[in-house]
Amino acid sequence: MLTKVSTTKAPAAIGPYSQGIIANGFLFASGQIPIVPESGEIAQGDISVQAQQVMKNVSEILKEAGTDFENVVKTTCFLADMADFGAFNSVYEKYFTGKPARSCVAVKTLPKNVLCEVEVIAVV
């Protein structure tokens, strides 16, 4: 059985997908970009500002699914510029203190030309 996860405290999906799906005791959350849910606008600022908003969005999806950062087992992080790796990690490490498995790659372009995107898999 699959359960869709949806909250107004994180940005609505901007395409034909769900914020997250719970399957077999795991949350598979869609990638979050730095959209401020209340305004629908991109958080303005450098990678640190945008990463902070991404973490807020991830947090709300985790909460809606009944879990938290400590139960995240895998993240996939996308950066628009690998030169932002250190600054991104400075924000990331404040949230993912359990040090889940991770992939982090630079990509040519992210949706809405943001600087970062993060998706997670967590135990619920």
- Structural domain harbouring 83: 2-123
How many domains is the chain partitioned into structurally? 1
Q: pLDDT-based confidence at 45, cuts 50/70/90?
A: very high
pTM given for the model? 0.96
**Does residue 53 contact residue 25 with C-beta atoms inside 8 Å?**
no
Q: Is 112 left (phi over 0), alpha (psi -120 to 50) or beta?
A: left
Q: Is the pLDDT of residue 13 over 90?
A: no
Mean pLDDT to the nearest integer, 21-33:
98
Sheet architecture: strand order including 26-32:
2-5, 20-23, 26-32, 116-123, 72-79, 101-106
Mean pLDDT to the nearest integer, 65-86:
98
Q: pLDDT-based confidence at 49, cuts 50/70/90?
A: very high
Residues with active-site annotation: 104
End-to-end alpha-carbon separation of the chain, Å? 14
CATH number of the domain residue 69 falls in: 3.30.1330.40
Query: Rounded to an integer, what distance in angstroms lies between the CA atom of residue 3 and that of residue 54?
Result: 23
Find all residues with CB under 8 Å of 58, minimum gap 6, and list them.
10, 29, 32, 69, 95, 118, 120
